[in-house]
Chains A and B, each alone.
Chain A
Amino acid sequence: MGSRGSTLSKIPNVDKLMQETGFSQAHIIRLHDRFRALDNDEKGYLCPQDFEAIKELAMNPIGDRIIGAFFAQGPQQETVDFNSFVKVLAHFRPTDKNRPKESTSPDPINSRTNKLKFAFQLYDQDKDGKISRDELLQVLRAMLEMQVTEEQLESITDRTIQESDTDRDNAISFEEFRKSLDKVNIEHKMSIRFLR
């Protein structure tokens, strides 16, 4: 792992990153270690193959979508540098209760809305701002695998869309998505306790 100072100094824009993401130094260092562990060839960035090498991720039914989410953040689609890596992970930092009061203006990256947006974009593969029936069907198919028949899948999908689709366009917009999860404790359910 190396000493803290040396590791930190290797990371460009650490302070800005910490401010944006809310991670502590310890977090950043830890994530940087992880980043380097994933980055096999010391290239300084990650490409999809690096993610696919994680074997647990291969088992995850929507793992590829989550990998995709890492590459959808920045302008350059092919690689992920450490900054965007951390920023994506920052979505899952637990929301601290005291903080929102101070920094209401720049919506923190781990706010409820941003967490929801992250989840939403996993469904919305074509990025048209709506989860269409097909998109939802794909996700469900992935999550349910072989356990249900195609008709069952479709009826679940229809039902889901019908339930949340308020403007009856047969698709779920982000607003509808958020509304359908209004009662869910997103701050809790979309957070990971990052080790320090």
Chain B
Amino acid sequence: MAAEKAEMDALKKECDGLRAQIEAARKAVNDGSMSAASSGVASVGRVQLKLRKTLKGHLAKIYAMHWSADSRQMVSASQDGKLLIWDCFTGNKLIAVPLKSAWVMSVAFAPSGNLVASGGLDNICTVYNIKAASPKTLRELDAHTGYLSCCRFLSDTEILTASGDTTCCLWDLETGKQKVIFTNHIGDCMSLALSPDTNTFISGACDSLAKLWDLREGACKQTFSGHTSDINAISFFPNGNAIITGSDDCQCKMYDLRADQEVICYQDTSLNAGVTSLALSSSGRLIFAGYDDFNCHIWDSLKGEKVGVLSGHDNRVSCTGVPADGMGVCTGSWDSFLKLWN
């Protein structure tokens, strides 16, 4: 017992020493803030977007949504046990996919538009072919030992998943098998995002950490700390050199990958609700963050100021997404509606 304790103490001491070294290295390069860099930048003023459409059709809380690469179709997932694929230009429902398990937490559209995937408390990521006469289950990816919190397609043959079992996984859709397992978080993984060049991805977890991973090697390259609660939402800045996180600690943060540290924090004393989701405008200037307070607040990413709000939902905003062409923003809520704004 004493020997084991001594071993653990030695490991802990080593960890503390290494962490202190890393903090010192980060401090050494911290010679200027985002506020300083953006001091000469003109304000965006008040951002007042209009509600253009309310998409009605789900019968229970909406947990997730994802835009198609065509910036026109969008898929939403609700605990009414359905995925709905929408034409956002007309507001029409195109396809309904009935789910085996109603406890869905995540949904994704493949870049090709041929496939969608979803999963949740069933621990399974199910992939559907939506180009068939009626939606057909292509694969059931069953190996996670915890809930599926997030999934994203790389292509029609590969998909990334994040799970409550603390791991992320890259799957081969042709074989249905795991290709790479990403282990390093010590809390449930809640969200993931692919880098624009698809060589890396980032994950946010209940251990309050965000991690950057090499997709092919399986290795964790960098770890970002600072949040004091679960990271529910994560996204790459459009140039791939920074990441934005949203947390239950009511804050969003931007971390720069090359400086390996937080460069700005988006917080407001009047905001006492956790962040559930986030999306960036096409230039990266605006951050749309969904909160538990039923609103989606809009932040100026450079100046760190709140510049607008999307109000209209009658319950928590659970998901937020901006399409690839940047023409609008979609919010989805526990009130069972999706709203399109621009």
Q: Do A and B bind each other?
A: no
| Residue positions of A touching B, CB distance < 8 A | none
